[in-house]
Amino acid sequence: MRGSGAKWGQVGNQTIGLRLGWGAGRLRGSPAVFTGEYRHSVDEKGRMAVPARFRVQLAGGAYVSRWIDGCLAVFPRDDWDALAAKVASLPVTDPGSRAFQRFLFGGAIEAELDRQGRVLVPVYLREWAQLEGEAVIVGSRDHAEIWAPARWDGVRRELEDPAKLAKHLTGLGI
């Protein structure tokens, strides 16, 4: 009787990933995809809850950095390492390359989720992103973005304008 329980434990563990939003592809090692929009409070210490759907993707570690458009980016460790490798391949003689490296890595922190699934965002990053009391966490394929609500509302309005969205898509082959 004892041996049969071990196999049921394996079956039960497979369904945990599906309930957490991994999907069957995630179990086979496909890349994490961050999707959705969530609003969370930022406490006085700078702690912010990470959406439950993102916690599994960040379990192996994460990096938080300044990002394009005035938000913060949260990358899983593997995706951060891949981005760092791409940036390292840029020519050091190019001023734009050096500026981007300073922008990205100069403000980045390695982050871990606490037992409540929160990430600590340091003061200098909160000030840079204008985060006060509330934040919007937005999935953006290979990373999550943390926005000040007023900034995100402006970006979202632009994205929801069909003519402006079509203009952004021009030349992308979509």
- The answer to whether the beta carbons of residues 134 and 39 sit under 8 Å apart is yes
- Find the domain containing 101 and state its range: 44-148
Q: Tell me whether residue 113 is in a domain.
A: yes
Say which residue, 18 or 76, is predicted with more confidence.
76
Q: What is the mean pLDDT of the chain?
A: 85
pLDDT tens string 116-139:
999 999 999 999 999 999 999 999
Q: Tell me whether residue 171 is in a domain.
A: no
Q: Tell me whether residue 140 is in a domain.
A: yes
Q: What is the pTM of this model?
A: 0.80
What does the alpha-carbon distance between residue 75 and residue 89 come to, in Å, rounded to a whole number?
Answer: 19
Q: Tell me whether residue 126 is in a domain.
A: yes
pLDDT tens string 14-47:
333 333 333 333 334 445 799 999 999 999 999 9
Number of domains in the chain: 1
Q: Tell me whether residue 169 is in a domain.
A: no
Assign residue 117 the CATH number of its domain. 3.40.1550.20
Q: How distant is the alpha carbon of residue 47 from its chain centre?
A: 16
Q: Tell me whether residue 98 is in a domain.
A: yes
> Which residues have a Cβ under 8 Å from the Cβ of 76 and sit 6 or more positions away?
32, 57, 58, 60, 61, 62, 143
Q: Tell me whether residue 78 is in a domain.
A: yes
Q: Which of 1, 23, 37, 45 is nearest to 136 (CA)?
A: 37
